[in-house]
Amino acid sequence: MNIRFLALLLALFLVQPAPAAKRPNILWIVIDDMSANLSCYGEELIQTPAMDQLAEEGVRFTRAYATSPVCSTFRSALITGMYQTSIGSHHHRSGRVKHRIQLPDGVRPVPEYFKKAGYWTCNGSGLPGFDRRSLPVKRDTPGKTDYNFDWNRSMYDSHDWAGRRKGQPFFMQVQLHGGKLRGSSTRQYDAFEKRVKKELGRITDPGKVYLPPYYPRDPVMLRDWATYLDSVRITDRHITLVIERLKKEGLLENTLIVCFTDHGVSHARGKQFLYDEGTHIPLIIRGPGIKRGQTRRDLVEHIDVAALSLAAAGIQIPDHVQGRDILALDYEPKRAVFAARDRCGEAADHIRSIRTDRYLYIRNFYPGRPHLMPSQYKDGKIIVQRLRELNAKGALNDLATKLLFSPTRAPEELYLYQKDPWQTRNLAADPKHAKALRQNRARLRQWIKDTGDMGPESPKVYALEIADELSVAKKNSERYRTFKANSETYKRWSAEGK
């Protein structure tokens, strides 16, 4: 009888969740507009000691990809663990004013699961007294959310973990400005360079910058990229301070840190597009149960962060979550990962991609439109303005002219992306790769069907979203005029079947 009683007690103990105080804290470091330009990923011009140390003490993923290369759609997918195309949140900055978007039945943001499990949920800068730009503030504010659906603000308890009960585990999102720090104009570059000199001692030398082959070594381009690299340095310094705070408070060893960016560098072929420059992201995980100094080379997606975080906290992963626990002992590597680009601001687009071990296949559903389509956001950047100016003068090389300024796009693109790191040689018409083209075309088509990809907006919804955007812009401003004029172009293209 005693043996049976003891066995029953043991069984009960094994199936009971660990007490809340024993569960690890979960801390996401989410960085805007930044590619894997870290020294632990091979960047040689700058050093990133904080993120390098996280990699040394944990696991670094070399082939992590965003399922969407723009902030709001990425974050909508991240916080639900689902493809943005499956939940209707795939159009950038949608559902914000009169036109609202609801999550599908049963789908909930992951902070709600953490809160229900007894976690203190918070979203901020990770440093009281400083904002996401690493600048001092008099009053702390919540961190960036940018979700394209209606959500309950009460799913976050606070902007910081300091307010939790003694011993209560926390789920924290540290939101950092990343590549956005550099701005998009000469005036903003000047101000940021002044700050970098003051805080870090020197700025990165533009003359030593390495650019992708389709960007000219023009002074504007070089300065922009150097300033971008300095934004990486400022970001790394902020992360250093967050880690020091965790150490000081005795929290580091019981905190799972997941560090990643929300898409690649904001540039003409980066952010908003499905090439590696736009979707390849760093992903570093350090914490309880993570073996030191690992490098993972299998394909993973950013929606996996939600699944692995829930699992680490002992919370059952809901059936609807499409991300996977990539840290599970029985995890089987993915054979392919997927990404999508849709409307960004007024710029209506429809692109899908699949990556396998060897190939990147991209399907352009609007091939009659140019790569650098009219965009109030993109055309507001000095780098894009300079590219347009150089193109008008005929001063770009053939590769830049072809990839950035062709009036149309190939309906299909196929790249051996590990041998062609900047995806400059489209093999879709090459007979040697015809089998791979057919296979990837079919697999992408099946993924679209299986995941319930909601596709383009109807003309009616597009008009509603444009009206919402214009309602919050200052009338007669340049932004208002440009956005409205561009939207009329897209409406005309749509009516023409372009």
Confidence (pLDDT) at 18: 42
Q: How confident is the model at residue 309, as a pLDDT? A: 98
Q: How far apart are the first and last CA of the chain?
A: 79
Residues 211-220, mean pLDDT to the nearest whole number: 98
Per-residue model confidence as pLDDT tens digits over 447-477: 999 999 999 999 999 999 999 999 999 999 9
Q: Are 224 and 265 in contact (CB under 8 A)?
A: no
How many angstroms separate the CA atoms of 129 and 135, rounded? 8
CB count within 10 Å of CB 241 equals 15
Question: What domains are there in the chain, each with its CATH number?
Answer: 22-325 (3.40.720.10)
Tens of pLDDT, residues 260-274: 999 999 999 999 999
Q: Is 129 exposed, middle or buried (0-12, 13-18, 19+ CB in 10 A)?
A: exposed
pLDDT at 12: 34
What gap in Å lies between CA 64 and CA 406, rounded to an integer? 30
Q: For residue 1, what pLDDT is reported?
A: 34
| b (16+ CB within 10 A) / e for 409-445 | beebbbbebeeeebbeebbbeeeebeebbeebbebbe
Mean pLDDT to the nearest integer, 74-88: 98
Q: Please report the pLDDT score of residue 22 as a whole number.
A: 81
How many residues in the chain? 498
* pLDDT (tens digit per residue) in 148-200: 999 999 999 999 999 999 999 999 999 999 999 999 999 999 999 999 999 99
- β partners of residue 338: 354
What is the tens place of the pLDDT at every residue in 294-324?
A: 999 999 999 999 999 999 999 999 999 999 9
Residue indicated by tokens 């082939």: 63
Q: Residue written as tokens 């002074």?
A: 219
pLDDT of residue 9: 35
Supply the DSSP string of 422-438, one letter for each residue. T-----TT-GGGHHHHH
Indicate the average pLDDT of the chain: 95
- Which whole-number Å values give the CA distances from 97 to 101, 225, 469, 488, in the listed order? 10, 35, 8, 20
| pLDDT higher than 60, residue 19 | no
Q: Which residues of 137-152 are buried (b: 16+ CB within 10 A; e: fewer)?
A: eeebebbbbbbbbebe
What is the per-residue pLDDT for 20?
A: 46
- What angle (nearest 5°) sits at the alpha carbon of residue 229, between those of residues 261 and 68? 25
